[in-house]
């Protein structure tokens, strides 16, 4: 959601500033929506998911407008730092180290906090979710930093669970499936509850660091957005 992520967390409070268009199509596995699937389970079902290209222009425009509002309100509308062309300062990772690092991201609830390990990413990494696509680790840091106060103000009981994490050497990527749940501090008590998948594509010639972060959701982007306006009526704790 990354948050988000382009992290997911950022989406629910306005998203991240969109920049260059989506460059990489998702290679995420097609898994059954809302199926509480633990690690090691096989993918026995198939369904469509919401991706950036499939999301309507109106939804993208709505999220983009909220993005600009929140970032400007937080004073984060300055030009982003110039991308560094030199990534030699970052140590190369083994594929096993990259997978372990990604698992740790979920363990520290990055889907909501936006707190990522920058050493896992290339400076020009492309971040995409069903509503936004932009390039640059510096852009990610600027926008997520601007949204932290908003998250603290409006989100409580934020939690996430990692259902699966698979290193796919043949595709040079790590694929994850997860669920994120959070309650919003609004009078009608809405709950955000999204199951999604993320493909972290890496380049062996660049130290096995992530050059593409591609997030999809197992529901339509508009449906996910409408959760903000629905009264909360149930216990939404993720199942382990």
Is the pLDDT score of 128 beyond 80? yes
**What is the token pair recorded at 102?**
């990604």
Local confidence band at 172 (pLDDT 50, 70, 90 cut-offs): very high
Q: Each residue of 63-80: b (16+ CB within 10 Å) or e?
A: bbebbeebbeebebeeeb
Spell out the residues 6+ positions from residue 86 whose beta carbon is closer than 8 angstroms to its own.
none
Q: Which CATH architecture has domain 8-23+47-74+92-229?
A: Roll (3.10)
How do residues 177-235 score in pLDDT, each as one tens digit?
A: 999 999 999 999 999 999 999 999 999 999 999 999 999 999 988 888 889 899 975 54
What is the average pLDDT score of the chain? Answer: 76
Domain spans of the chain, in order of start: 8-23+47-74+92-229
Give yes or no for a cis peptide into 5 (omega within 30° of 0).
yes
How do residues 104-122 score in pLDDT, each as one tens digit?
A: 999 999 999 889 999 999 9
pLDDT of residue 233: 58
As a whole number, mean pLDDT of residues 24-32 equals 37
Residue of higher predicted confidence among 35 and 94: 94
DSSP string across the chain: ---B--BHHHHHTT-----SPP-S--------TT----TT---------B-GGGS-HHHHHHHHHHHHHHHHHTT--SPPPPPPS--TTSPP--HHHHHHHHHHHHHTTHHHH----GGGEEEEEEEE-SS-EEE-HHHHHHHHHHHHHHHHHHEEEEEEEEEEEEEEGGGTEEEEEEEEEEEE-STT--EEEEEEEEEEEEEGGGTTEEEEEEEEESS-HHHHHHGGGSPP-S--PPP-
**What is the token pair recorded at 177?**
């499936």
Is the pLDDT score of 1 beyond 60? no
pTM equals 0.75
């Amino acid at each position: 959601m990354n948050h988000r992520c382009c992290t997911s967390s950022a989406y629910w409070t306005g998203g991240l500033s969109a920049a260059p268009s989506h460059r990489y199509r998702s290679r995420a596995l097609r898994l059954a929506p809302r199926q509480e699937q633990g690690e090691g389970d096989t993918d026995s079902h198939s369904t469509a998911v919401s991706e950036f290209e499939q999301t309507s222009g109106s939804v993208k425009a709505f999220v983009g407008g909220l993005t600009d509002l929140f970032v400007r309100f937080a004073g984060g509308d300055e030009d982003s730092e110039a991308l560094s062309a030199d990534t030699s300062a970052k140590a190369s990772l083994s594929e096993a180290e990259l997978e372990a690092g990604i698992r740790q991201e979920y363990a520290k609830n990055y889907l909501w906090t936006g707190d990522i390990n920058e050493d896992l990413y290339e400076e020009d990494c492309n971040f995409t979710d069903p509503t936004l696509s932009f390039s640059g680790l510096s852009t990610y840091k600027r926008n997520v930093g601007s949204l932290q106060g908003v998250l603290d103000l409006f989100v409580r009981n934020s939690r996430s669970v990692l259902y699966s994490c698979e290193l796919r050497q043949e595709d040079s990527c790590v694929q994850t499936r997860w669920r994120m749940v959070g309650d919003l501090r609004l009078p009608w008590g809405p709950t955000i509850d999204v199951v999604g998948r993320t493909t972290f594509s890496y380049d062996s010639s660049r130290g096995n660091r992530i050059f593409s972060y591609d997030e999809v959701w197992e529901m339509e982007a508009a449906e996910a957005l409408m959760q903000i306006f629905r009264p909360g009526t149930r216990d939404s704790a993720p199942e382990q």
